[in-house]
Structure 1
Amino acid sequence: SEAEGRSVAGSLNFNAAPDAQTLYKAMKGLGTDEQAIIDVLTKRSNRQRQEIAKSFKAQFGKDLIESLKSELSGNFERLIVALMYTPYKYDAKELYDAMKGERDNATLYVDIALALQDAEALYAAGEKIRGTDEIQFITILCKRSATHLMKVFEEYQKLAGKSIEDSIKSETRGSVEDAMLTIVKCTKNIHSYFAERLYHALKGAGTDDGTLIRVLVSRSEVDLNLIKPEFKRIAGKTLSSMIL
């Protein structure tokens, strides 16, 4: 199922055209708005990212992956490009399981052995060696399902004695770190992630109106009522009281 094959929940109120326009604007002119690219691509399912690529080509006559490659660099480029590719191995497994007949519910079933193997691979790629094999992190975070990743994160904590987030923070830097942490947060709790974005937009001197407007508009018809309790837990006060 699509739900099993994606590492983040995707957008329920999805329209590829404005997403493609956001990406185009993020890469147009001098400099690149990396945060805008992260905000779009890490919040969409793989199927939705493929639709964005089609819309990007139709609107601007350019290949989205090639555009991303030309504007980005290093491991951040590798991570973002990895998000754009269809996870062929996963699709093959799904076809095989479908042909076998009756099977476990895809959204509940987790291959424990594979989850432990992934956790060990992440530990070996990060905490266990000098330097970090970021490609290993990118591959696992981008290609595994949310259900599977939750078990991987649990097993990783046992192995490393620290959370996957703490390891990412200590082992990576810059845009790669931001994108990885976004994927982990969205996998664990999409509502908590958006509540945190709203809280940071509202606290301190001045207000980040751009973030505030983007989150409120994009989630208003999706899950804003589920974000509100998470916001109160993080901020200690209601979202309404901080906006008004």
Structure 2
Amino acid sequence: MAWWKAWIEQEGVTVKGTPHFNPDPDAETLYKAMKGIGTNEQAITDVLTRRSNMQRQQIAKSFKAQFGKDLTETLKSELSGKFERLIVALMYPPYRYEAKELHDAMKGSRDDVSGFVDPGLALQDAQDLYAAGEKINGTDEMKFITILCTRSAPHLMRVFEEYEKIANKSIEDSIKSETHGSLEEAMLTVVKCTRNVHCYFAERLHYAMKGAGTLDGTLIRNIVSRSEIDLNLIKNQFKKMYGKTLSSMITEDTSGDYKNALLSLVGNDP
């Protein structure tokens, strides 16, 4: 799996951090940007959107050591609105941010490490899903939850293929007929992420900005959480699906320092 991780790191990341990094000057820049009357929002954007999360944590430590203040709390006191929400989100360590946004609720105890697919187990899972839904009156929802939330993506792709052979319908159609409400939505999301995770996030970003108003929480959460993982790949998928770049839609739907910070995280268009 090492080659896959290296490829993702090279191709998918929009925020890679800066080489020859020294947190002390960055901390001093941020301090000066918030010292006295007024705030230099552009200086804050230039520093924090161009550093990796690991580098931001080191800047926060340096800020505390040099000036005796908590960087995140200082940012909260100096900024406001959507720009504050975005910048503060950048300051969370990834695991804390994902927990805060309930991202771990989707992960469960999923096996995404080995990438190994056991054809026999995939067939058994497909049969179990069929027996838990289409084959009976009612639905064994826990069986669906257990399989969809604990198996790896490659394994689930094989399960979906086997399921369609058994049930003569897609797993999505079965979920729609067997469940409803928030459970249906959650299960369909797992399937969509399994089939094409970049398509899923492109849809979420488009959904956040289409129509009247912008769902800023969704926009911030998806850009921040994917900027050091695969945002470039999501941008490519976004362009294929909607015929416009993610940057252009952000430019249309946001403004000011908030817009500038988002565009800096998103990076150049493909």
> TM-score if structure 1 supplies the norm length?
0.65
- Of the structure 1 ranges 130-139 and 150-159, higher mean CA displacement relative to structure 2 is found in 150-159
Specify the alignment match of 2:218 in structure 1: 136
One-letter code aligned to 2:35: K
Preserved CA contact (<8 Å) 1:69 1:77: yes
In the aligned structure 1, how far is the partner of 2:242 from the partner of 2:115?
Answer: 37
Q: Give matches, 1:82-97, under 5 Å.
A: 82-88=89-95, 89=98
Aligned residue number for residue 161 of structure 1: 243
Aligned match for 1:126, one of 192, 205, 209: 209
Q: Distance in 2 between matches of 1:61 and 1:147?
A: 32
Amino acid of the residue matched to residue 214 of structure 2? T
Identity, in percent, stands at 49
- Structure 1 residues 143-154: aligned runs within 5 Å: 143-146=225-228, 148-154=230-236
Q: In the aligned structure 2, how far is the partner of 1:50 from the partner of 1:144?
A: 18
Q: Does residue 14 of structure 1 match 2:14?
A: no
Counterpart residue number, 1:170:
252
Pick the structure with greater CA Rg. 2
Q: Distance in 2 between matches of 1:57 and 1:184?
A: 29
Corresponding residue number in structure 2 for 1:43 = 50
Tell me if the contact between 2:16 and 2:52 (Cα under 8 Å) persists in the aligned partners.
yes
Compute the displacement of 1:87 (Å): 1.3
Letter in 2 for 1:68: L
> Which residue in the other structure is 2:150 paired with?
none
AA partner of residue 164 (structure 1): L
Q: Comparing both chains, which one has the higher relative contact order based on Cα–Cα distances under 8 Å and sequence gaps of 6 or more?
A: 2
Task: Count the aligned residue pairs.
Answer: 179
The aligned amino acid for 1:81 is: V
Q: CA deviation at 1:158?
A: 2.7
For residues 59 and 161 of structure 1, the distance between their equivalents in structure 2, rounded to whole angstroms, comes to: 48
Whole-Å Cα distance in 1 between the matches of residues 58 and 263 of structure 2?
A: 24
Deviation at 1:160, TM superposition (A): 2.5
- RMSD (Å) for aligned C-alpha atoms: 2.9
Alpha-carbon deviation of 1:146?
4.7
The 10-residue stretch of structure 1 (80-89 or 37-46) with the greater mean CA deviation from structure 2: 80-89
Alignment pair present for 1:74 and 2:81: yes
Alpha-carbon distance between aligned partners in 2 of 1:178 and 1:58, rounded to the nearest angstrom: 29
Structure 1 consecutive aligned stretches of length 4 or more whose deviation exceeds 6 Å: 90-93, 95-98
| Structure 2 runs not aligned, ≥5 long | 117-192
SS of 1:70 mapped into structure 2: helix
Q: In 1, are the aligned partners of 2:13 and 2:231 still within 8 Å (CA)? A: no
Identify unmatched segments of 5+ residues in structure 1: 104-109, 190-244
Q: Which amino acid aligns with 1:152?
A: I
TM-score (norm 2): 0.59
Matched residue type, 1:138: I
